[in-house]
Structure 1
Amino acid sequence: MLGPENLKYSGDIFGVAASALEERGYRPILLQGASGDISTRRTRLSRDYSEAQRIGRALAERVVKAILSGDVRQAGVKYGEERAVLRLKFREDAAGEAGAVISRVSKIAPRKAAARIGLLRLGGGEEFLLTPFEPAYALQEELGIGLVGVAYDYLGYLAPPGDYYESYMTFVDFWETLGVLKRVLRDLRGA
């Protein structure tokens, strides 16, 4: 949510929520889902640190309310992870000056990135794939599993090609990476 003018080191909304929950004696693990194409732009009042505080604390209050409702159950947890190598693509088709800069950078920048991918299983059979991307909801639909974004690292958005900002900020090929994620998911499930 925080904009480029933010100069504070921050976990943004989720960091604020986690800290607020810790202040109340909880040990939170907040998992950011497929949100690469979801924004707070329609509900936030600004993009500054005080607004991140306001929204993060509101999120923490909702979590506490859910816990106190008695509608929360304990679950056993299983976890596994695998490293995958992803081929990076450079957006030489980006418009104008940015395209020229990206074209120059692509000559010296790495062509591949190692990524950690994890599988989190809860006792009730729920599964979540942990990825280093800010994934679009379309990825969750393609994989048929709950996604956790920005886990371990940040490799940008992972959105299908299209005429919107997030697809221009996707540095790996969506369809190729989808194939890698499907393979890793099969491996982690032991199939």
Structure 2
Amino acid sequence: MTLLCGAAKAMINPPEGTLLAGYLAKRPAEGVHDPLFAKVLALKIQNKTLLMISLDLVSVDSRYVSELRNEIHDTFQIPIESIMVHSTHTHSGPGGMTDENSIVYKAFSGIWPPYVESIVKDHYEKIKNAVHEALSSLTPCTVRYGKGKALGIAANRISIDRHFEPDLNVIIFERITGKQIIVYHFACHPTIMHADNLLVSADFPGAANKYLEQNEEVEMSLFLNGPSGDVSTRFTRKDSSFDEVERMGRKLSECVLSTIKASTKLSVNHLDSNIVPITLGPRRFETEDQLRGSLLKVQEEYKHGKEKGLTASELRRIESKIEGLTASINLVNKLQNVAQIKSEIQIVSIGDMYLATVPGEMFYETGWEITNEFDEVCEVLLLGNTNDYIGYIVPEKFYEDNSYESSMTLLEKGSTEYIASQIIKNVGGMKHVSNQRL
């Protein structure tokens, strides 16, 4: 059976004045530093088609994804379960895509600007045009897979001593013309640019894509972010500047190209996909008085840190605790009437390569534990911020550490472990079905 692939991209820059999303600050865009893209990879074997859509946005929620999937299905007759929508998680892209009735918007309205229908509809039209172009360009291809390291780009942002492996996964779809469509997977918050930036940017993955696509043989490169809830450039970046975005992007692109050189052929004789609904409980917080007590302690820690001359990255870690506890105080009453949080995971197989989606910001440690379940059996890549956004997905043991991430999670303890179990169960089930085909 012959695998066909097609690719296309569309620019999705917001209008000037659009509020940027991702930080606790009002940030009207003053212009575009580098373009945002919607990128589409189409794969087909016989009558099975898969669409992988990667968007340079901070997140996509269930409403955005549901409406987009329905429009693509109605236009191209592609099944809903065969459409995956990923956000790269740049914090220098537009807000306005989050449903104002969602729990995430209600909890964090300071981070998520109000819903802007014109922006969303513009995205849908541009994405559908890119889908049409990708489907129209389907040609036979071969597949290669490489696994390498991208050193010096990311680290655990809560503590540099916490476990993190800078794994870089690269899938290369090579057309019969020799043109390559590169899909690369790496876990890291694209947050080199901080809250004072008012220019639209895809951050360092955008720079990496630019450098990759300057190669004559590369038709398109598509970035997929991994389980990066507690991973960023906090301890690796020199500063928060566009020069640093370029430096990190070039470094990542060089790692991708090195990994391609060491890649090996991947046999793909089938495609599969499945959506699994999940239901989670909302978090129950400490009392407001307890949280305010914790906040005072961390504020004192920050004050003493400045007096001791801590580095900017160390101060930023403490500052993020203050932000998280402040958010928790604001959340205490907002979740009282929430009974459950509904979302989904999606399992996609490309031959014996499995992509498992996560509807938010999963910690690296959990992703690592999931992939280790399948070590030497098959490759499993965890994609964060995909098909929905329900916030930080924190391991139970970290709920009491007062980190920004643990303070901000909307999910009850045990939610991470439940999501992980569902991913392991459903990847295993799809793998079993695949083995029966052989």
Normalising TM by the smaller chain, what interval?
Answer: 0.7 to 0.9
CA 1:83/1:12 → structure 2, altered by over 3 Å: closer, same or farther? farther
Aligned residues with identical type, % of pairs: 26
CA-based RMSD of the aligned residues comes to: 3.0
| Counterpart for residue 130 of structure 1 | 357
1:6, 1:171 → 2: CA distance?
Answer: 27
- Which amino acid is the alignment partner of residue 134 of structure 1? E
Question: What's the CA shift for 1:46?
Answer: 1.6
Which residue of structure 2 lines up, in the alignment, with residue 167 of structure 1? 406
> Which residue, out of 325, 332, 346, partners 1:118?
346
User: Which whole-Å CA distance do the structure 1 matches of 2:365 and 2:229 have between them?
Assistant: 10
The one-letter amino acid paired with 1:19 is K
Which of 204, 210, 214 pairs up with 1:13?
204
* Alpha-carbon distance between aligned partners in 2 of 1:79 and 1:14, rounded to the nearest angstrom: 28
Indicate yes or no: 2:344 matched with 1:105.
Answer: no
Distance 1:180 1:142 in 2: 12
Within 1, Cα distance between the matches of 2:250 and 2:279?
36
Q: Supply the AA of the counterpart residue of 2:366.
A: L
TM-score by length of 2: 0.37
Structure 2: how far apart are the matches of 1:173 and 1:147? 21
Secondary structure, aligned partner of 1:150: coil
Query: 1:1-191 to 2 correspondence within 5 Å?
Result: 1=191, 2-24=193-215, 25-67=218-260, 69=261, 71-75=262-266, 76=268, 78-87=271-280, 89-90=282-283, 92-93=285-286, 95-96=291-292, 97-107=326-336, 111-115=340-344, 117-123=345-351, 125-143=352-370, 144=373, 145-161=380-396, 162=398, 163=401, 164-183=403-422, 185-187=424-426, 189-190=429-430
Q: Which stretches in structure 2 are left out of the alignment for 5+ residues?
A: 1-190, 293-325, 374-379, 433-438
- List runs of 5+ in structure 1 lacking aligned partners: none
Q: Is the 8 A contact 2:283 2:412 kept in 1?
A: no
Partner SS state of residue 106, structure 1: coil
Deviation at 1:21, TM superposition (A): 1.9
CA distance in 2, matches of 1:83, 1:64: 34
The answer on whether the counterparts of 1:84 and 1:184 sit within 8 Å (CA) in structure 2 is no
CA contact (8 A) 1:128 1:147 kept: yes
- Per-residue deviation, 1:74: 3.7
**CA distance in structure 1 between the aligned counterparts of 2:368 and 2:389, rounded to whole angstroms:** 21
Following the alignment from structure 1 to structure 2, what is the Cα–Cα distance between the partners of residues 23 and 153? 32
Q: Which protein is bigger by CA-based radius of gyration?
A: 2
Larger proportion of strand: 2
- Following TM superposition, by how much is the alpha carbon of 1:87 offset from its aligned partner in structure 2, in angstroms? 2.9
